[in-house]
Amino acid sequence: MLSRSSVSSARRPLGTTRPRTYTSGAVRLSRRSLPRCRAEIDIETIAAGAAALAGVAVGVGGMVWMETQTDRSNERENDQACFVCAGTGSIDCRYCEGNGVVRVDLGNGTVEESTCIYCDGRGSITCTNCNGSGLQPRFLDRREFVDDD
């Protein structure tokens, strides 16, 4: 008696074979029905990946370099005099021009003098560049403004 596989193979033309089937549980999968995984990588994909990797490296490297420079800057002594106040820590008041007194012309030749409210009659205010320290702040240092009150 002929088996079912021998009958079906007898009906097929020569050179053709039945696809092999693999069983996975109750589901039968044919090798032809499985998706083929092809990795098609062209030069544009490689270039994009290299650019992304270089961008990450530069970004991280830049942050590490900046942190290193900040640490080195904090280790060095800062002895450079402030450019704005020439190391004095104060500058002339721009409202009373360093006199401590404001003159107001009331008309008819009458001039009233009053104490400058911006510098409280001192004639000078704290330097806003160095906050009164007299030392030039380093590049990119954070400034903390001192309240004159």
What are the boundaries of each domain within the chain?
Answer: 82-141
Q: With a cut of 60, say whether residue 12 has pLDDT above it.
A: no
Complete DSSP assignment for 5-66: HHHHHHHSPTT--PPPEEEETTEEEETTTSPP------HHHHHHHHHHHHHHHHHHHHHHHH
Please report, to the nearest 10 degrees, the dihedral formed by the alpha carbons of residues 116, 118, 119, 123 taken in order.
-60
pLDDT digits (tens, 9 = 90+) for 65-99: 988 887 887 787 778 888 889 989 999 999 898 88
Q: With a cut of 60, say whether residue 7 has pLDDT above it.
A: no
Q: According to the CATH classification, is domain 82-141 in 2.30.30?
A: no
**In the predicted model, what is the mean pLDDT of residues 42-48?**
87
Provide φ and ψ at 99, rounded to 5°: -90, -25
**In the predicted model, what is the mean pLDDT of residues 94-122?**
88
